[in-house]
Structure 1
Amino acid sequence: MGEPRLPAELERALEDSGAAERGRAQVGRWLAAQPDPEAARAALARAPERARTLGLLCAESRLYTDILIAQSSLLGELEARGAAFERAALAEQLAGARTPAQLGARMRTLLVTIGYRDVVCGQSLEQTLRDLSALADAVIERALAIASGPGAQRPAVGGFVVLALGKLGGEELNFSSDIDLLLVHDDRGVPAEQRSELAARYGALGRALVRVLSGGGGARRIYRVDLRLRPEGSRGPISVGFEAALRYYESRGRTWERQMLLKARPVAGDLALGRALCEALSPLVFRSYLNVQAISDIKALKRQLEARAQRRGDDIKEGPGGIRDIEFAVQFLQLLHGGRIPHVRARASLEAMDRLAEAGCWSAATRERARAAYRFLRAVEHRLMTWAGERTHRLPREGPALAALAGRLGFRGPDAVERMRAELERHRRVARRLLAASLHGMFREAEHGAQAGAQASELVLDPAPSPERIA
């Protein structure tokens, strides 16, 4: 005899997911883990909404399946957990965590709740990324409380702030992204001879925070934390002083570091200190002009990222025509215009696109093409990561994995893969041409030692480049 049939609503959910075969395998894992698989199957038949939720989540992510197996009551609670993700509510749900293991378990419960809102309720990708960011903010805040000492309920960290950079700073975090953090303590007015001791004390707190987030003490990792974007990189202190940071960025900060600070956002600890630092850094980030060296630096960084991506295969993030092309174009224009036009200063990429168009730095048509390309490429990235349960940007080359990706992106029928590939290539061309229009052609004469002429300047400031360059 073959396997017993799955309940009808569960089968429909698997077909609707676009990844039915893969989903069936995960549902089989979930059933096999139940104390009485036949009773669980019968219970699903009596609860069609719950059966649909299980099917869609299992087809979406192996990690979701793992969490539903580990937390047996969670499946029945998800519908009641569908409320908006607000920081205060998240903090309340995490407040009881006293150890990294407890914090990780609660974080994974909330992660599946986001998955439920994403694939069952059909909320927008932008909202899902904001939810993932809000969850990370709350987890970092609670991790800081745990790192501050046994039994701590609130972080005893006056004068210490955690700033998020990158995707988390822009509140557009991926499902399984690293989190880029900058740790800063208040050294204003502290005598020079006491600053080393202060840096050591807050550096110890920073290391404790990273241990909690990394699953110290044998716990499962919560987030991969990257502190290498701090001043001096891996050679610099774990926590940098407020005044030391200002001195560094003013006298030694490189163009890529100004670009990085576009998204800096205080998320835990002394938030007022973080806001003060961001305000103080603003004139250093948004200058009145970009010189040729700054533009060359941005180009060089982009080439390095693409060279690294090519070694990894077909990379949806950093390869040619990837997400980075659009982000670099947007960030370049923000650096270029932000000194004169404060309105274009925005952390989130989609909001920045809107503001660039509102300020006349882009045409409405350019903005719409950029937004459509960015949304599609981020959706591809999101679906790759949710299934894998880990950080990946590599597109599958062929076979069932590629077909499942196409289905989960909404492409159906025998030609689903071909149509997905065509749509992907169309958006990649937009991303590449957008970058070229904004950056690659800039100040070419100046790079070869000649004075940059009016034509180069007009290319940057042109709010409506010719359609063939961005379409």
Structure 2
Amino acid sequence: MDTLPTPLREISERHLAALQEAGAVPEDDRIATTLSRVVAASDFVAQAVAEREPGLLHDLADSGDLFTAYGETGHRQRLRALLDQTADEAGLYRALRRFRRREMVRIAYRSLAGWAGLEETLEETSDLAEASIDLTLDWLHRALAERWGTPRGPDGDPQHLVVLGMGKLGGRELNFSSDIDLIFAFPETGETDGNRPRSNDEFFVKLGRQLIGALSEITPDGQPYRVDMRLRPNGDAGPLALPFSAVETYYESQGREWERYAMIKARCVGGDYAAGDELTRSLRPFVYRRYLDYGALEQIREMKAMIAREVQRRGTARNIKTGLGGIREVEFVAQAFQLIRGGREPRLRSRRLMTTLETIAEQQLLPEHAVDELRSGYRFLRQAENAVQMLADEQSHTVPEDPVLRARVALGAGHLDADAFEAELEQVRRHTHDHFEQVFAAPQAEDSEDAEDPAELVWNGHLDTDEAGERLRALGFPDPEQLARRLERLREGAEVRALSARGRHRLDRLVPLVINACVRARRPELALTRVLDLIETVARRTAYLALLVEHPMALSQLVQLCDGSAWVARFLTAHPLLLDELLDPRTLYEPLGRDALEADLDTRLRRIAADDLEQQMEALRQFKQANQLKVAAADVSGAAPLMVVSDYLTQLAEVALERAVVVCREHLVHRHGRPMCTDGGERREAGFAVAGYGKLGGLELGYGSDLDLVFLHDSRGEAQHTDGERSVDNQVFFARLAQRVVHVLNTVTPGGIVYEVDTRLRPSGNAGLMSTTLDAFRQYQREGAWTWEHQALVRARAVAGDPGPRETFEQIRAEVLCQGRDTGSLRESVRSMRERQRKEKGSRKTGRFDLKNDRGGLTDIEFLVQFGVLNAAHDHPELTRYPDNIRLLRQLVQAGRLAEADANRLAGAYRAYRRRVHQLALQDQDAVLDSEELQDERAAVTAIWERIMEG
């Protein structure tokens, strides 16, 4: 006590007297030599013992807990022993609060006595909170399940809540008196198995509310934790607990940039840990991108501005969390590198800040001395923060201005000299803020050259609209006034006004380059308008602007592609990551063949852990988008004719689909084992196949085409189940496989989707099984299918999966198409279906011709071919060989079922229609023409239709 400053000695003596009077001080030399220092720094410890529980220090000393580091499971073991003896909810509340008080006194005492370092204090504070969450949840779950029954998923598996701990709790870096930020989720929808079943949603929302109450309600025994649920999807407006699928969909479709930042530290801290780990893995692509994340740069600058505004608004100069040079700035430096580079570097994905700083140093992302100062500064600031909060167990981050209180905080942080502590605090904050500014300060724009480039004069705003128009006309733009107004809207728009100095400087350099590049385009004004639309979309992601400024070749390719196609311009605007593909024109205009596509995708997937389905999905997206851009570039440049473009796009879809099947099957086999069956006395593995219908089946995919898919398997006989420990019926296995394939291809993420998938052509449509046995498929096609389903089968083929089932599908297809049919009945079915389609989808505008749906259009040709095949295949099985219309027209002629002149007219019209549909799609226009265009083709098709189908 003699070493304490006088004001602190007086506080200590007062607390010691109260403790002695309460009989709260055990006879232990270790306590005798440290207690005066501890109570001088903490009213919380002194009052918790003297006023609330005089036997507390005796208990901690006698048990030895006060003198021992628990390790990660210490709190859990001790709390479980207490809760196992708890019979009711009141007892739960009492036990939890008394346990928390005991352990927080112990943690504070060990820290203030100098027996525990910062890491131990942060970890034990976090472990105490996690044990309280998990074991309380377990108690409450059992109690609620006794009343309502056990919640179960669709397959009967019991369900448990998953509690995600966010922020410092997730990183095991929780400060002494902190809120705990939580998110609740559960694996699947379903219902409880009680006498009066409740939905899983109702069960887990109720359980979540009970958990929040147990953790946060204030009772005579105190309040364990303040619980904050605002980080959950949709915040306070969202449900308290959501199924995993809804959580994933939210982050994939609605997740905002700040939520990526928040999810960096997300970790399961209660409930079903295995499912929680699966959920966080599923959300990893939302947080970490597999490329240098240009989009994160925008958010980093906004975060910096937000910090500055917060400090200015609150006037919190002494706040060691949010003030200049405070804890948040260190965290932001580390987490910014995680957001930008974590997709490429797994070691940057640590939830622990100190580990992240070590990786930043190892990879030389910051100078070693800067990382050393950030690391030591962070430790100092966190020690001071804990000292502030241990003073009274209050959530404060501000070092008091009162000299006595400041001296007590200094003592709690390990400093007897308050002035020395204050001086070091200021130095730490100054160095921290300097490093923060080095990383994030907006750069100064370079002095612009005094050039008389007309494009620069037009852009810089020094000319009025008329003058700008004259300059643009001189450059070669036919309608300069409209362009001048478009440039002015961009220059004065909100997106540009919000740019940093560096971003605005880059934009000011880029736009004149774009104007000059568009002068050389075939349609200068159209090219410039489209490029400006893209720039406006990505303007605040200044890394993209830098890419175009620093790589003239990339800018040149961008202008050429936007000049040639509105679709390509929109595609690049939607996926600006693909601007990287413009850097090398040698590869940009050479779409990959089938073997090269497979090698490209395999290389991308090999970089990803086998169990990381989310990153595999992202790799599929990037693969599809990058290679689709190459096809479009070759198309726009004239390097690839229409039929070849369709072949490329079809091969791209097939490769993506094949790998999706392989990836999804491997995941399910790992979980459930291989699907086995006993067929004819022989035990074998059941196979799986995917049939492609429509444009995929007919080798006619376009840029925005859906994939019409039917999933099949050849499981039959006895013992149809998987051979793993978590065995499931083969039908369940293949249904899940089909669902996963659709999910992988169809799920919307920030990176887009792979393909839209339509499964309505499966037997019985949406009411049918997701995956059907080949035997059931054969029976349905023979006995239950409608004529239109047989028509669809004409343009179907096996496109992915195992060789055996694929071959069987082709056999079934041939069998069904070769069935004998009454010509009159068939003609009437096909004709009536076509009439119904015309009424539903045809153009209703006079003078317009819908290329696909109007009389004489594409669908008339397709229906004529399908009628011809279904009518003649019984006598001419060779008609089942091909699924595409052009070759089928040729075969119908060879079979004597179509006049050669009619076939030539239909083939010519079909090619002309497809060419126009394709051209319109590239310009982002509907497949509708003025009725005077293609009149001869339309008249020919109509005449042939009327002669064959209406007789």
Name the TM-score class by shorter chain.
0.7 to 0.9
Q: Could you give the per-residue CA deviations for residues 88-122 of structure 1, whole angstroms, max 9, x where no partner exists?
A: 43222112233112111012111222223222352
Using the TM superposition, name which of 258-267 and 84-93 deviates more.
Answer: 84-93
CA distance in 2, matches of 1:217, 1:117: 27
> How many residue pairs get matched?
429
- 1:434 maps to a residue whose letter is H
Deviation at 1:141, TM superposition (A): 1.3
Change over 3 Å in CA distance of 1:50–1:104 after alignment to 2: same
Q: Is the 8 A contact 1:137 1:267 kept in 2?
A: yes
Match of 2:17 in 1: 28
What are the within-5 Å matches in structure 2 for residues 315-326 of structure 1? 315-326=319-330
Using the TM superposition, name which of 221-230 and 236-245 deviates more.
Answer: 236-245
Match of 2:216 in 1: 214
Deviation at 1:179, TM superposition (A): 0.5
Change over 3 Å in CA distance of 1:435–1:380 after alignment to 2: same
Deviation at 1:47, TM superposition (A): 4.4
Match of 1:123 in 2: 116
Deviation at 1:166, TM superposition (A): 0.4
- 2:58 maps to a residue whose letter is G
Match of 2:630 in 1: none
Residues 1:439 and 2:440 are matched in the alignment: yes
Match of 2:36 in 1: 55
Which of 295, 298, 307 aligns to 1:296? It is: 298
Q: What SS class does the counterpart of residue 163 from structure 1 fall into?
A: strand
What value does the CA root-mean-square deviation take over the aligned residues? 3.0
Match of 1:146 in 2: 139
- 1:83 maps to a residue whose letter is T
Change over 3 Å in CA distance of 1:270–1:341 after alignment to 2: same
Residues 1:334 and 2:346 are matched in the alignment: no
What are the within-5 Å matches in structure 2 for residues 404-419 of structure 1? 404-412=408-416, 416-419=417-420
Q: Is the 8 A contact 1:315 1:394 kept in 2?
A: yes
Change over 3 Å in CA distance of 1:334–1:346 after alignment to 2: same
- 2:251 maps to a residue whose letter is Y
- In structure 2, runs of 5+ residues without a counterpart are 87-91, 152-158, 192-197, 444-499, 511-541, 548-951
Match of 1:468 in 2: none
CA distance in 2, matches of 1:229, 1:454: 30
CA distance in 1, matches of 2:233, 2:505: 31
Change over 3 Å in CA distance of 1:234–1:151 after alignment to 2: closer
- TM-score of the superposition, structure 1-length normalised? 0.83
Change over 3 Å in CA distance of 1:147–1:301 after alignment to 2: farther
Compare CA radii of gyration and give the structure with the larger one.
2
Match of 1:182 in 2: 183
Match of 1:5 in 2: none
CA distance in 2, matches of 1:454, 1:199: 43
Match of 1:354 in 2: 358
What are the within-5 Å matches in structure 2 for residues 335-414 of structure 1? 335-412=339-416
- 1:432 maps to a residue whose letter is H
Structure with larger RCO (C-alpha < 8 A, sep 6+) = 1
Deviation at 1:437, TM superposition (A): 2.1
CA distance in 2, matches of 1:453, 1:250: 23
Q: Could you give the per-residue CA deviations for residues 187-239 of structure 1, whole angstroms, max 9, x where no partner exists?
A: 2799xxxxx94323211111110000013666521000001001101001111
CA distance in 1, matches of 2:223, 2:303: 30
Deviation at 1:342, TM superposition (A): 0.9
Match of 2:825 in 1: none
What are the within-5 Å matches in structure 2 for residues 67-78 of structure 1? 67-69=48-50, 70-78=52-60
Match of 1:250 in 2: 252
Deviation at 1:296, TM superposition (A): 3.1
Match of 1:227 in 2: 229
Q: Could you give the per-residue CA deviations for residues 111-163 of structure 1, whole angstroms, max 9, x where no partner exists?
A: 2222232223522111110111111111111221333254999xx78331111
Using the TM superposition, name which of 354-363 and 18-27 deviates more.
Answer: 18-27
Q: Is the 8 A contact 2:294 2:544 kept in 1?
A: no
CA distance in 2, matches of 1:238, 1:151: 17
Q: Is the 8 A contact 2:325 2:431 kept in 1?
A: yes
Aligned residues: percent identity?
32
Change over 3 Å in CA distance of 1:17–1:249 after alignment to 2: farther
Change over 3 Å in CA distance of 1:456–1:435 after alignment to 2: farther
- In structure 1, runs of 5+ residues without a counterpart are 1-10, 35-39, 191-195, 458-471
Change over 3 Å in CA distance of 1:376–1:204 after alignment to 2: same
- 1:372 maps to a residue whose letter is S
- 1:169 maps to a residue whose letter is G
Deviation at 1:388, TM superposition (A): 2.2
